[in-house]
Chain A
């Protein structure tokens, strides 16, 4: 029974991982930017939410409404200024710049916050509760997060396939020059993609802060790796693949923890490396998000 429980917990965790991953996948698919600061943005959003709650005393769930749109706007601005400038130079420059951003954000958080972990308290008693199915405990919070993640991914999929700007994003990802010739300013489209990426990762970061503890280095230590792993496992190019990747990662982690709890992180790294080595085709050829 413990194994079934592990699988279920893994699936629920996978939704969150997929939410972390979809922004990374989008930015890489559209702008060819590997955002090394991606995980740190999630942590930043989490701390931002803590700050907002501390200052305005709004209920926890309101922090989403405030922080996520602000992060999306931040994403647009960062893309139009810093990342576009780096893209105009070279791939190497974007890597160096996003690495720089990652270090600045982490050390900024270390400077202004403590190195200790902090959580976003959930004041709704329901969310810390759980219900039972047979002998399996399912927490409401993880379940809710999973549902939200799937809904967001569904919404994103619908946006990309059915809307005007979703089409533009896919077109620019395929061929940005041809899109220019058709009248689209690709810098603006990049900005929108970045806004979506920052917004989704902020959503995921706050959710993470509610279900686990935040610390300034979690961005690179855990979140970036989770996001990358989900993208790598599921293959770049489809949001459903990302969800699958997240779920596989979550399940693998939980099963690994069943085997030997202290090796959980190491097992994750080794699996990740193995996939990088054995599945290079998913990484060398690029496909646009569909």
Chain B
């Protein structure tokens, strides 16, 4: 029996719409605990560990932003390194003029968000392949322009001022907390955006753009908003990068390697879910640490794994978990609950049949009429 006949057969008022499968207050508590644990980590572990974690925070922020662009708005950008670099240079410029680099971080984020507007104007009308190549050219152009200004280091870069007053241990800790703060804020912002109307509109656009437009969705505006948010997020990550490296070199901060890392982490972890980039970042860091002495190998392996995942496990590692256990850590979807169902407990139960409808999240695994 089709869904239409099923629901039509029931008298009205026999179903509810909820935001999650089960009581997720506990998820919020766990999240809080996790954040607190991470916050006190610098007191407990070696600085080499915190340095690795700072790297992880940067990649996680970048991956979440790339996921927002590609997994939700359908914009595959290979030029996000432009914002990473711009963020780093915002921090550098402000530090040169006396601001503490840490205080400069929010300014860098906002600055990159604003910078995203004219860049969006340049590329917004382009179709996917041309959009991708245009973003890359933009990034390369931005780098070449910035390299012309010797006052901020020119082609060779310069050290980041304003950090000399900190003791090494304190600097490591502050850098770590800055990275943690940026990551937490980024995830919270993304969660709130996707949970609200924006998430619905993005899913509608992804499923059927024409229908979404005729329903009143402001497709262009929504995409622009996503691009701006992603620019700001990548900029903040770039600021943290500058602080963690104690210097800003154009070749390093504008490298396309950042796009490779954020894209691969997202694809492997799961495109189109908030949890995906988290898992992808973990995989990435593990690979990078184990293959650290082998130079470019981790990128090669990461790239190959990403290709395989994109082809065969389209929803990534998290998608595999999600499909079988029906778990969402970040409740951004909607569930249609028919009243006869028993209230579910805390533990996940295996999926029975096709009882999921109308969720905001990754696209369905079954091939539809149009893809």
> Residues of A with Cβ closer than 8 Å to B?
28, 33-34, 36, 82, 85-86, 89-93, 95-97, 99-101, 103-104, 107-108, 110-111, 220-221, 224-225, 228, 232, 265-266, 269-270, 272-273, 276-277, 280, 283-284
Proximity bits, B63-106, A CB within 8 Å = 1, else 0 = 00000001000101010000000000000000000000000000
Q: A99-B78, A221-B140 are in contact. List 7 more A-B contacts (CB 8 A).
A: A95-B128, A99-B132, A99-B259, A100-B306, A107-B303, A273-B137, A283-B127
CB distance from A25 to the nearest CB of B (A): 12
Q: Assess A107 versus B299: contact at CB under 8 Å? Given A225-B137, A280-B126.
A: yes
List residues of chain A with CB within 8 A of the CB of B11.
none
Residue of A nearest to B136 (CB): A220
Residue of B nearest to A273 (CB): B137
Assess whether B141 is interfacial by the CB under 8 Å rule: yes
> Residues of B with Cβ closer than 8 Å to A?
70, 74, 76, 78, 122-123, 125-130, 132-134, 136-138, 140-141, 144-145, 256, 259-260, 263-264, 267, 294-297, 299-300, 303-304, 306-307, 310-312, 314, 371
Task: Report the separation of the CA atoms of residues A97 and B264 in the bound assembly, to the nearest whole angstrom.
Answer: 10
List residues of chain A with CB within 8 A of the CB of B127.
283-284
Q: Assess A104 versus B138: contact at CB under 8 Å? Given A34-B130, A36-B78.
A: no
Do A89 and B311 have beta carbons less than 8 Å apart? Answer: yes
Contact of A111 among B138, B267, B297, B371 (CB under 8 A): B297
Do A95 and B300 have beta carbons less than 8 Å apart? Answer: no
Do A96 and B310 have beta carbons less than 8 Å apart? Answer: yes
Give 9 CB contacts A-B under 8 Å. Answer: A33-B129, A34-B133, A86-B310, A93-B314, A100-B264, A100-B267, A108-B300, A225-B133, A269-B140
Do B297 and A36 have beta carbons less than 8 Å apart? Answer: no
Contact of B132 among A95, A97, A284 (CB under 8 A): A95
Residue of B nearest to A89 (CB): B314
Do A85 and B311 have beta carbons less than 8 Å apart? Answer: yes
CB distance from A211 to the nearest CB of B (A): 23
Do B263 and A92 have beta carbons less than 8 Å apart? Answer: no
Contact of B137 among A82, A96, A272 (CB under 8 A): A272
Task: Report the separation of the CA atoms of residues A99 and B136 in the bound assembly, to the nearest whole angstrom.
Answer: 11
Do A276 and B134 have beta carbons less than 8 Å apart? Answer: yes
List residues of chain B with CB within 8 A of the CB of A85.
311-312
Q: Assess A266 versus B134: contact at CB under 8 Å? Given A92-B76, A96-B76, A276-B122.
A: no
Contact of A265 among B136, B144, B311 (CB under 8 A): B144
Interface of B is mostly: helix
Residue of A nearest to B70 (CB): A92
CB distance from B36 to the nearest CB of A (A): 36
List residues of chain B with CB within 8 A of the CB of A100.
263-264, 267, 303-304, 306-307, 310
CB distance from A116 to the nearest CB of B (A): 15
CB distance from B131 to the nearest CB of A (A): 9
Do A86 and B311 have beta carbons less than 8 Å apart? Answer: yes
Task: Report the separation of the CA atoms of residues A107 and B295 in the bound assembly, to the nearest whole angstrom.
Answer: 9
Do B125 and A284 have beta carbons less than 8 Å apart? Answer: yes
CB distance from A262 to the nearest CB of B (A): 9
List residues of chain B with CB within 8 A of the CB of A270.
141
List residues of chain B with CB within 8 A of the CB of A36.
78, 132-133
List residues of chain A with CB within 8 A of the CB of B145.
266
CB distance from B26 to the nearest CB of A (A): 34
Task: Report the separation of the CA atoms of residues A232 and B127 in the bound assembly, to the nearest whole angstrom.
Answer: 13
Residue of B nearest to A112 (CB): B296
* Closest 6 pairs (CB-CB, A-B): A34-B129, A107-B296, A104-B303, A100-B307, A95-B76, A266-B144
Task: Report the separation of the CA atoms of residues A99 and B123 in the bound assembly, to the nearest whole angstrom.
Answer: 19
Task: Report the separation of the CA atoms of residues A97 and B263 in the bound assembly, to the nearest whole angstrom.
Answer: 10
Residue of B nearest to A85 (CB): B311
Contact of B307 among A97, A108, A224, A273 (CB under 8 A): A97
Task: Report the separation of the CA atoms of residues A23 and B162 in the bound assembly, to the nearest whole angstrom.
Answer: 51
Do B256 and A220 have beta carbons less than 8 Å apart? Answer: yes
Do B125 and A103 have beta carbons less than 8 Å apart? Answer: no
Residue of B nearest to A28 (CB): B129
Task: Report the separation of the CA atoms of residues A225 and B164 in the bound assembly, to the nearest whole angstrom.
Answer: 42
Task: Report the separation of the CA atoms of residues A220 and B259 in the bound assembly, to the nearest whole angstrom.
Answer: 13
Contact of B300 among A104, A280, A284 (CB under 8 A): A104
CB distance from A187 to the nearest CB of B (A): 15
Do B311 and A82 have beta carbons less than 8 Å apart? Answer: yes
Do B311 and A111 have beta carbons less than 8 Å apart? Answer: no
Do B132 and A266 have beta carbons less than 8 Å apart? Answer: no
Residue of A91, A100, A108, A273 with most chain B CB atoms under a 10 A cut-off? A100
List residues of chain A with CB within 8 A of the CB of B267.
96, 100
Task: Report the separation of the CA atoms of residues A28 and B129 in the bound assembly, to the nearest whole angstrom.
Answer: 9
Task: Report the separation of the CA atoms of residues A122 and B131 in the bound assembly, to the nearest whole angstrom.
Answer: 39
List residues of chain B with CB within 8 A of the CB of A266.
141, 144-145
Contact of A273 among B138, B260, B295, B314 (CB under 8 A): B138
List residues of chain A with CB within 8 A of the CB of B76.
92, 95-96, 99
List residues of chain A with CB within 8 A of the CB of B297.
107, 111
